[in-house]
C-alpha cells in the first residue's frame, strides 16, 4: 500500500512540475506579446484550487495531473469585446504566435538544462565498462573484443561509464553500417581499434539491452546472497527473513552466490523448503514457500520478494568526474542537446521501422520509473525528470496539429503566404492530429499493460 501511495505521489509531483513549467512558458511569452491570458491551469477536471490576479487571469490546480493548458483570449472561441480585440491571440502577429507556441517546449528544455546542471554540479559517478565475458559468435566476438578489455569509446565518443556505453550503443539501434570500438586493458595505455558491421541491429527487439545484444557481459563484483530489502507482505517476510541475512543453504544445498539463490527460488514455485541464513554471526533455520508467478512466456516461476545487497566496487573501476559552475553548465547544455537528438532520432526510427514501436511507453511506465528512481536517490529522480522534460519538449515541437509544433506550422504558413490557413483546413487538420495523438496514447498505454 505504501509503495502504491509513493508511486502516486511521485508521479503527480513529477508531472505537475513538467506541466507547470511548460504552461508557464506559454503564459510568460503570451503576456509579453500583449495577449490576454484568461486561465492558467495545471491539470484537468474539477478545480481543487483557484484564484484570480489583478490582470483577470484565473489560476487553477485541477484534480487530473495528466496535463494542463493556458487559455488565451481568442475570437475563434468566443466573442471578444472591441476594446480587448487587440489582446486576442488570433490577432497577434505570426511571429508572436510562433514565439508563444514555442515557449512551452523551450521552457522544458531550459528546465532540463537546469536539472542537468544541478546533477553535474554534484559530480557524476559511474563504473568503468570492463568486459567480463564475450559470447561466442556474437557481434563483439566478430569485432575481436576479448575479456579484460575496457571500452574507451564507441564511434569516437567517449564511454567512461556503463551508462555512457549504453547510450552510445542505443544510438545505433536499427542501423546498418560499421560500428567502431576503442578499447584498452586497464593496466595499459595501448588503444585497440575494433569494427563490426551492423545490419538492422535490434530493430525488432521490444526492450533492447544493447550491451547484451552486443554479446558482452560487463565485469561486476560477485553478488553474494546477502539481503538488502525484504518486501512487506512477501513470502520472505512471512518466513522471517530480514535485511542483512546471508543465505547459506536451501534444503541442504550450499548457496555461494546470489544467482544460485535466485535460480533455485525460481524453480520451486509454491514448494516449501528449509533455508539456513546467517544473522548477526548466528545461523537460523527458516521455512519459506515462494509465490507462483508467470513470466512473459506464461511460464511459472518462484518469487519470494527480496533484493540483493550490492557489493563494493574496486576503487580502480570507479569513475568520478567533478565539475565547476561553468563546466557543469556546458555539460548540461551538451547533455540536453544529446537527449533531444536521441529522442527525435528514436521517433524517426519508429516511424521508419528501424525501432520496434513496442518501446513506446505511457503513463504506467512513467509512474513506475518515477517511483523507482526516487528509491535510488534524489539525483536519480532528477535525471529522470530531465529526460522526461526533454521528451515533452521534443514531442510537442513535432509538426502535428493540436500540438505546439502544429500551431507553429500554421503561423509559419501565414507568415510566408500573407494570410491565415483556411479555418476549415485547420479544423480538419486538428481533428486528424487529435486522432493521431489519441491513437499514440492508447498504443503506449497498451504497451504499458503488456509490460505489467
Q: Is residue 234 part of a domain?
A: yes
**Do residue 7 and residue 114 come from a single domain?**
yes
Domain boundary among 280, 308, 336: 308
Element (H, E) at 61: strand 58-72
Mean pLDDT, range 103-109, rounded to an integer: 97
Q: Is residue 23 part of a domain?
A: yes
Burial pattern 417-446, b for ≥16 Cβ within 10 A else e, equals eeeeeeeeebeebbeebeeebeeeeeebbe
Instruction: Give the strands of the sheet with 192-198, arranged side by side.
Output: 157-158, 150-154, 177-184, 192-198
* Nearby residues of 49 by Cβ (< 8 Å), 6 or more positions away: 60, 61
**Total length of the chain:** 452
Q: Is residue 240 part of a domain?
A: yes
Element (H, E) at 423: helix 423-451
Residues involved in catalysis? 23
pLDDT for the residue 2: 54
* Nearby residues of 45 by Cβ (< 8 Å), 6 or more positions away: 62, 63, 64
Domain boundary among 264, 280, 308: 308
- Window from 102-116, 143-157, 191-205 with minimum mean pLDDT: 191-205
CATH code for position 299: 2.30.42.10
How far is 298 from 163, CA to CA, in rounded Å?
31
Q: Is residue 245 part of a domain?
A: yes
pLDDT for the residue 362: 65
pLDDT for the residue 312: 85
Q: Is residue 323 part of a domain?
A: no
Q: Is residue 107 part of a domain?
A: yes
Of residues 283 and 313, more confidence is placed in 283
Confidence band for 378, pLDDT divided at 50, 70 and 90: confident
Helix, strand, coil share of the chain (percent; to 5): 45, 25, 30
Q: Is residue 114 part of a domain?
A: yes
**Do residue 292 and residue 398 come from a single domain?**
no
**Do residue 288 and residue 394 come from a single domain?**
no
**Do residue 11 and residue 117 come from a single domain?**
yes
pLDDT for the residue 22: 95
Give me the number of domains the chain comprises: 2
pLDDT for the residue 452: 56
**Do residue 390 and residue 300 come from a single domain?**
no
Q: Is residue 444 part of a domain?
A: yes
How far is 55 from 218, CA to CA, in rounded Å?
59
The answer to whether residue 55 scores a pLDDT higher than 90 is: no
pTM, 2 dp: 0.81
Q: Which domain holds residue 271?
A: 227-308
Domain boundary among 278, 308, 338: 308
Amino acid at each position: 500500500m505504501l509503495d502504491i501511495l509513493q508511486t502516486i505521489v511521485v508521479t503527480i509531483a513529477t508531472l505537475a512540475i513538467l506541466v507547470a513549467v511548460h504552461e508557464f512558458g506559454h503564459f510568460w511569452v503570451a503576456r509579453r506579446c500583449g495577449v490576454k491570458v484568461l486561465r492558467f491551469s495545471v491539470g484537468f477536471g474539477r478545480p481543487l484550487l483557484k484564484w484570480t490576479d489583478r490582470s483577470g487571469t484565473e489560476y487553477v490546480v485541477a484534480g487530473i495531473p495528466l496535463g494542463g493548458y493556458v487559455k488565451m483570449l481568442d475570437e475563434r472561441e468566443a466573442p471578444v469585446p472591441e476594446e480587448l480585440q487587440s489582446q486576442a491571440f488570433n490577432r497577434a502577429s505570426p511571429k508572436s504566435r510562433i514565439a508563444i507556441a514555442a515557449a512551452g517546449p523551450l521552457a522544458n528544455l531550459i528546465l532540463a538544462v537546469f536539472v542537468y546542471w544541478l546533477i553535474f554540479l554534484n559530480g557524476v559517478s559511474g563504473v568503468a565498462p570492463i568486459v567480463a565475458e564475450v559470447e561466442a559468435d556474437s557481434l563483439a566476438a566478430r569485432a575481436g573484443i576479448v575479456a579484460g578489455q575496457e571500452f574507451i569509446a564507441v564511434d569516437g565518443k567517449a564511454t567512461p561509464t556503463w551508462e555512457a556505453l549504453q547510450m552510445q550503443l542505443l544510438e545505433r539501434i536499427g542501423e546498418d553500417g560499421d560500428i567502431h570500438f576503442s578499447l584498452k586493458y586497464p593496466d595499459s595505455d595501448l588503444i585497440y581499434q575494433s569494427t563490426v558491421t551492423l545490419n538492422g541491429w535490434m530493430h525488432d527487439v521490444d526492450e533492447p539491452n544493447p550491451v547484451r545484444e552486443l554479446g558482452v557481459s560487463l565485469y561486476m563484483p560477485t553478488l553474494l546472497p546477502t539481503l538488502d530489502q525484504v518486501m512487506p507482505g512477501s513470502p520472505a517476510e512471512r518466513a522471517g527473513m530480514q535485511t542483512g541475512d546471508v543465505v547459506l543453504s536451501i534444503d541442504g544445498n550450499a548457496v555461494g552466490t546470489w544467482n544460485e539463490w535466485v535460480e533455485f527460488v525460481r524453480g520451486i514455485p509454491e514448494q516449501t523448503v528449509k533455508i539456513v541464513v546467517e544473522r548477526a554471526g548466528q545461523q537460523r533455520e527458516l521455512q519459506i514457500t515462494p509465490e507462483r508467478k508467470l513470466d512473459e512466456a506464461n511460464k511459472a516461476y518462484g518469487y519470494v520478494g527480496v533484493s540483493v545487497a550490492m557489493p563494493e566496487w574496486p576503487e580502480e573501476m570507479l569513475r568520478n568526474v567533478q565539475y565547476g559552475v561553468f563546466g557543469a553548465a556546458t555539460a548540461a547544455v551538451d547533455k540536453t542537446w544529446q537527449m533531444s537528438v536521441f529522442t527525435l532520432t528514436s521517433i524517426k526510427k519508429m516511424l521508419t521501422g528501424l525501432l520496434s514501436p513496442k518501446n513506446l511507453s505511457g503513463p504506467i511506465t512513467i509512474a513506475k520509473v518515477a517511483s523507482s528512481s526516487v528509491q535510488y536517490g534524489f539525483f536519480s529522480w532528477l535525471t529522470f525528470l530531465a529526460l522526461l522534460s526533454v521528451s515533452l519538449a521534443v514531442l510537442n515541437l513535432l509538426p502535428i496539429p493540436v500540438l505546439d509544433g502544429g500551431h507553429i506550422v500554421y503561423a509559419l504558413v501565414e507568415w510566408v503566404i500573407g494570410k491565415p490557413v483556411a479555418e476549415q483546413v485547420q479544423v480538419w487538420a486538428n481533428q486528424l492530429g487529435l486522432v493521431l495523438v489519441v491513437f499514440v496514447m492508447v498504443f503506449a498505454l497498451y504497451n504499458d499493460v503488456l509490460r505489467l
